[in-house]
A and B are shown apart, each in its own frame.
Chain A
Amino acid sequence: MKIVIDYDLCEANAICMAIEPSVFEVREDDNLYILDEEPPEELRPKMEEAARRCPKQAISIEG
């Protein structure tokens, strides 16, 4: 499973960070950083929730 962010869409609303802070982090510069591009399989429900909840639909999951 690979997490892909469309940075043209991302507005760093940080909703994903609230869902799984071990993968998504919005830093002081207001940009989103992916801490783990290939998170473990047990985080898949969280990743799907993050993708679904993103107000900009900027998160996709490959594989």
Chain B
Amino acid sequence: MKALVVAGASLGGMNTVQSARSAGYDGPICLVDPSPVLPHDRPPLTKQVLAGEWELERARQPVADKLAEFDVDLRLGVAAESLDVAGLAVGLDDGSRLDASAVVLATGSRARSLPDATAPGTHTLRTGADCLALRGELDLRPERVVVIGAGFIGAEVAATCRSRGLEVTMLEADEVPLGRVLPGGMGAFMADLHRSGGVDVRLGARPEAILTDDHGHTSGVRLDDGEVVPARVVVVGIGAVPAVDWLAGSALSLRSPAEGGGVATDATLLAAPGVVAVGDVASWPNPLFDGEVMRVEHWENAIDQGAHAGRRVLAELDPKRWDNPGGFSSVPWFWSDQYDSKIQMVGRARPGDEPVVVSGAPGEDRFVVLYRRGGWCTAALGLNRPRDLVRARMAMSESLAWDGVASLF
């Protein structure tokens, strides 16, 4: 009997497996992932594990302990290399070919890097192994750590380095951090947050080269104005790209970087007959946002989409037994812990959406900003307002109507 093949033991892939088993699927499941160990739960990798408070083993994915119970043929250290869409088969990099009853694309993302970011001392942070490598260097108490990029990964790394008593310089190419996620200049508070935390925040700072010493070890970063920021440790935190290269030769439609990247699916997460995408790789029209195409890299999205994808793929296997769950309608959301602050974002703002302050004010310790697009509330941003943000999310999951969300404040 052919297996349901899940390409990627990512959070999305693992939750798809859990969902399929919970729905009563008792056929074979084959889960492949290029990582030599089961991928870790990522949120602690920039915080508790990097801080040295947790051992890496504690950052287990929530579903990891159930894999045995789920009776999964787990193949680690093997990458999916190609997909035969018409024949439903996955080619693996060990030369074998897995015939599938259906395929789930769950290969996640990889960290973006810089072309010269190869010297010892220069890191990206995505996997458990990345985290241990960086932590090992932080244990040596470097005089300064340079973080390139003020996105959430870079920001969490910077905050954790400060909690370890290390000097940190954060380089952000734009004048305001997080311009894409928080349009309208709302990311400015992030720079303030890090300055209060003791980080040397440089806005409009463009790294030109990562420098090395005579031993080939990282020694600093040269900016485009010629200034050199010396550092034994450099962390490149400039985002992630969906790991869809292996699908380039397939019959699937891939979105360009300008379109947000990833695999194009329909509203139900179906990329082709028998092929479902989940998590970071899925680019789908979100019914809640009137079909706006989204690709969401958040932790919660991978869990929610996994729950949906498991049911969706079963409807491909046997539509008489399992109902198609329909469109994946969702309010994306995430949180980020930095210093003692909790940053939460609900929804998805676009450039041009109007930020409206509804509680406190940016620059204060607590505030809420809603984003308005016509009659819609497209997003809510909160600093230390978890209750408000959850209420906003609950309202938005019913309807994006501006009045309904704004009336909560």
A residues adjacent to B (C-beta < 8 A): 11-15, 17-18, 21, 26-28, 30, 52-53, 55
Contacts and interface: CB of A to CB of B under 8 A. Distances in A.
The size bracket of the interface on B is: 10 to 19
30 contacts: A11-B337, A11-B342, A12-B386, A12-B387, A13-B335, A13-B342, A13-B386, A14-B386, A14-B387, A14-B389, A14-B390, A15-B390, A17-B387, A17-B390, A18-B390, A18-B393, A18-B394, A21-B394, A26-B386, A26-B387, A26-B390, A27-B387, A28-B387, A30-B384, A30-B387, A52-B62, A53-B300, A53-B303, A55-B43, A55-B335
Interface of B: 43, 62, 300, 303, 335, 337, 342, 384, 386-387, 389-390, 393-394
Interface SS majority for chain B: helix
Interface SS majority for chain A: loop
Contacts of B389: 14
A30 B62 CA distance: 26
Contacts, number: 31
A18 B43 CA distance: 20
Given A18-B390, A53-B303, 17 more contacts: A11-B337, A11-B342, A12-B386, A12-B387, A13-B335, A13-B342, A13-B386, A14-B389, A15-B390, A17-B387, A21-B394, A26-B386, A26-B387, A26-B390, A30-B384, A53-B300, A55-B335
A30 B386 contact: yes
Contacts of A28: 387
A26 B384 CA distance: 12
A30 B390 CA distance: 12
Contacts of A17: 387, 390
B393 to A, nearest CB: 6
Max count, chain A CB within 10 A of own CB: residue among B43, B342, B387, B394: B387
Contacts of B386: 12-14, 26, 30
B310 to A, nearest CB: 15
A33 to B, nearest CB: 11
Contacts of B342: 11, 13
A15 to B, nearest CB: 7
